[in-house]
């Protein structure tokens, strides 16, 4: 999710529920939609007004129209520029209070506007919204540059950062001073006027390209496969058939629809007996952004890479990768590449073993085929069942979305002392539900958690967390509002939504991000919650995944959707025995994306044909032909819909080193619910935001630096594997 400066600005600018008998029914206020082309008068524009109501104010989703966005953005940008000018031209000598603290107060109105704007961009991206997004993207980029390129403002920031006064500031204030000074320098504050002008032009063009890239992917994700014959459903579990039928019914069609989203595609590739249909669905998914016509993203990628390389040179860096990694935990691309390469060889070696097993099974079944990418999940599932007596179809009936949500709440109570209560507030879509979060010990209000679980047209694929409002104690202080967003296929009314083990893991992962935001306890919004280095932010979320398979969660919340019986222990034991199964595939498809991302951004100003570069790089690496990148370049939203994960997709592996090592801290203490380790985790990781260097924060939690051996053991690799 891209950010703009000042550093506490963050919005999805590009950048899970049904009621069961066992779950509370939550009534929410669904927005009415006035005509999209009728904007509210400026004085009545709901986006420009303070958030009012309970919980310190809430977004007025029931009153927003698409036509409100452009005037609200323009008004809020102008107001922030006026606020910044007053600070920049203050005749008083620069101090922390009249410069940095003052900057923390600016742009509050724009924060509120871009929060809703980002929600519409990622979850309600309709034909009416897209032209506004295309128009406003470069204007928002230019607005950010007007702030970071304000010479008088930077002189004041730099003066505070280098002032003797800094020694008397609190550690958090010193960190804030460092953050402002560093971010402004990295954004070009020290460039001459000509270079600043070119830099702003680059940023505006990149904003246009990011918007076009994401809209092209969204268009291709609107593709579906309609199945019209029962014979085409061979092999599919009943839950997937029901979901596909519901998807077709929602579109007014007869039959079964396979949507072009991972939560629909992956289970189809796992169970569908028809090899031809598996290939069609696989190609539909992996070719997003790479189809002939107006939505092809390859030329856009080439231009993005060229502009990023030019920008890096303007800013004094060898490559975009060197610029992006300077203020991360890795610090340099070389350190990130070293980790990726250390894991690549054992991962590819494991893939060869997995393919041999699958090929042997296919031949034993009389299938004269060579394993292809659209076969991998299908035959891997057969091998899993044969080797571990574990059929994912046996597990899925116990994985009810609503029950797992309750399980996440229970874990949050055990580790963080949080209680969740459903509340009625305005929402932007009828699928969204909201819970108030309170501290169990004191009853103190902590924040709000919004849950948007289902796929729909205009919503980007995948799963993610948003911060609607960051916690702060600055001035009067505010509490956190966060959301989790997924793309599960909505079932028929009254039917349980059953999800895969992988999707359940992702559910816990994204909730980890939410807990990171909800746990925040800092003074300044720029340092709050998940506003941490990119290769650190995935650590808390990946860590929370480890609580899903604990007996405490499974016995309480993995309940059969028909019988209500908990998942049998023998099935849990099989899951545990198979936990390292298929790690070659999972690790290699991820690494392929991470390495291609890094190499593209280490290429400097070399012209790049994205399709050829991807193909040639993977061939040089020795990418197994049975696997493709988890995110192929033409739909790699992490990297090309914004700067967020550009040259930074390695971050998931870097964070997983921390995750695996931190998990061992609980193991060594006797269990994942050890209260002392949980307290240290809250104190040193989840609550402190970016108030200290993350390497120091991890050492405070663990007592030492992380060790990569824990990661290799977690994935079932030997650290000395060839």
Instruction: State which H helix or E strand residue 104 sits in.
Output: helix 102-105
Separation of alpha carbons 332 and 336, rounded Å: 7
Provide the 10 A C-beta neighbour count for residue 392.
19
Give the residue from 176, 79, 159 showing the smallest Cα distance to 474. 176
Separation of alpha carbons 562 and 690, rounded Å: 46
Q: What are phi and psi of 259, to 5 degrees?
A: -80, 155
Q: Which residues of 75-110 are buried (b: 16+ CB within 10 A; e: fewer)?
A: bbbebbbebbeebbebeeebbbeebbbbbbebbbbb
State the pairing for strand pair 480-488/464-469. Answer: antiparallel
The answer to whether the CB of 407 falls within 8 A of the CB of 549 is no
CA distances from 550 to 126, 311, 547, 554, 572 (A): 41, 47, 5, 6, 9
The answer to whether the CB of 416 falls within 8 A of the CB of 437 is no
Rounded to 10 deg, the angle between the 583-602 and 333-364 helix axes is: 140
Instruction: State which H helix or E strand residue 421 sits in.
Output: strand 418-423
510 annotated active-site: yes
Separation of alpha carbons 230 and 658, rounded Å: 47
CA distances from 103 to 84, 327, 409 (A): 7, 21, 36
**Would you call 467 helix, strand, or coil by DSSP?**
strand
- Chain centroid to CA 260: 19
Separation of alpha carbons 51 and 47, rounded Å: 9
Q: Name the catalytic one among 472, 510, 545, 589.
A: 510
Rounded to 10 deg, the angle between the 651-669 and 333-364 helix axes is: 80
How many residues appear in the chain? Answer: 722
CA distances from 590 to 315, 398, 638, 694 (A): 30, 28, 13, 24
The answer to whether the CB of 677 falls within 8 A of the CB of 666 is yes
**Would you call 279 helix, strand, or coil by DSSP?**
helix
Q: Which residues are catalytic?
A: 510
């Amino acid at each position: 999710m891209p950010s703009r400066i000042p550093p506490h600005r963050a919005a999805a600018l590009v950048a899970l529920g049904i009621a069961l008998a066992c779950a509370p029914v939550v009534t929410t206020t669904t927005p009415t939609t006035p005509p999209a082309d009728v904007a509210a008068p400026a004085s009545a524009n709901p986006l420009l007004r303070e958030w009012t109501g309970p919980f310190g104010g809430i977004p007025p989703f029931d009153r927003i129209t698409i036509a409100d966005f452009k005037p609200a953005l323009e008004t809020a940008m102008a107001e922030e520029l006026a606020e910044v000018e007053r600070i920049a031209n203050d005749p008083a000598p620069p101090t922390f209070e009249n410069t940095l603290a003052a900057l923390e107060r600016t742009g509050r109105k724009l924060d509120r506007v871009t929060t809703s704007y980002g929600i519409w961009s990622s979850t309600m991206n309709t034909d009416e919204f897209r032209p506004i997004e295309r128009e406003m993207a470069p204007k928002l980029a230019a607005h950010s540059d007007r702030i970071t390129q304000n010479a008088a403002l930077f002189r004041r920031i730099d003066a505070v950062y280098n002032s003797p006064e800094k020694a008397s500031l609190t550690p958090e204030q010193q960190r804030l001073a460092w953050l402002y000074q560093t971010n402004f320098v990295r954004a070009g504050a020290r460039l001459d006027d000509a270079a600043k002008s070119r830099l702003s032009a680059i940023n505006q063009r990149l904003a246009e390209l990011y918007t076009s890239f994401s809209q092209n992917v969204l268009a291709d994700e609107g593709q579906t496969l309609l199945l019209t014959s029962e014979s085409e459903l061979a092999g599919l579990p009943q839950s997937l058939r029901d979901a596909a039928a519901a998807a077709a019914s929602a579109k007014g069609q007869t039959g079964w629809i396979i949507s072009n989203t991972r939560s629909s595609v992956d289970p189809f590739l796992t169970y569908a007996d028809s090899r031809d249909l598996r290939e069609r669905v696989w190609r539909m998914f992996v070719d997003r952004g790479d189809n002939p016509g107006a939505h092809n993203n390859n030329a856009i990628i080439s231009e993005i890479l060229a502009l990023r390389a030019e920008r890096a040179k303007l800013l004094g860096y060898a490559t975009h990768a060197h610029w992006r990694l300077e203020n991360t935990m890795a610090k340099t691309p070389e350190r990130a590449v070293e980790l990726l390469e250390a894991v690549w060889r054992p991962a590819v070696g494991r893939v060869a073993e997995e393919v041999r097993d699958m090929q042997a099974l296919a031949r034993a079944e009389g299938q004269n085929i060579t394993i292809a990418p659209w076969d991998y999940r299908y035959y891997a599932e057969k091998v899993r069942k044969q080797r571990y007596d574990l059929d994912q179809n046996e597990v899925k009936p116990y994985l009810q979305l609503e029950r797992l949500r309750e399980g996440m709440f229970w874990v949050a109570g055990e580790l963080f002392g949080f209680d969740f209560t459903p509340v009625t507030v305005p929402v932007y879509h009828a699928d969204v539900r909201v819970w108030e979060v309170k501290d169990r010990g004191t009853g103190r209000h902590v924040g709000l958690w919004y849950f948007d679980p289902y796929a729909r047209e205009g919503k980007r694929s995948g799963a993610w967390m948003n911060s609607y409002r960051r916690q702060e104690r600055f001035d009067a202080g505010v509490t956190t509002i966060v959301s989790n967003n997924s793309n599960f296929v909505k079932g028929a009314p009254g039917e349980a939504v059953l999800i895969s083990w992988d999707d359940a893991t992702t559910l816990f992962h994204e909730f980890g991000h939410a807990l990171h935001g909800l746990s925040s306890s800092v003074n300044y919004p720029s340092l709050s919650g998940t506003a941490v280095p990119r290769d650190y932010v995935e650590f808390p979320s990946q860590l929370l995944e480890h609580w899903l398979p604990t007996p405490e969660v499974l016995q309480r919340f993995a309940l059969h959707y028909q019988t209500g019986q908990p998942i049998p222990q023998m099935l849990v034991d099989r899951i545990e025995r198979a936990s390292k199964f298929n790690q070659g595939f999972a690790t290699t498809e991820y690494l392929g994306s991470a390495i291609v991302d890094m190499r593209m951004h280490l290429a400097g100003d070399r012209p790049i044909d994205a399709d050829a570069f991807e193909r040639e790089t993977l061939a040089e690496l020795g990418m197994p032909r049975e696997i493709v990148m988890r995110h192929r370049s033409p739909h790699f939203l992490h990297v090309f819909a914004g700067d967020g994960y550009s040259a930074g997709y390695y971050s998931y592996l870097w964070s997983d080193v921390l995750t695996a090592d931190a998990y061992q801290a609980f193991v060594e203490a006797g269990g994942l619910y050890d209260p002392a380790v949980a307290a240290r985790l809250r104190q040193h990781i989840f609550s402190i935001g970016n108030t200290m260097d993350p390497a120091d924060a991890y050492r405070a939690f663990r007592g030492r630096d992380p060790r990569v051996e824990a990661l290799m053991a977690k994935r079932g690799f030997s650290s000395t594997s060839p």
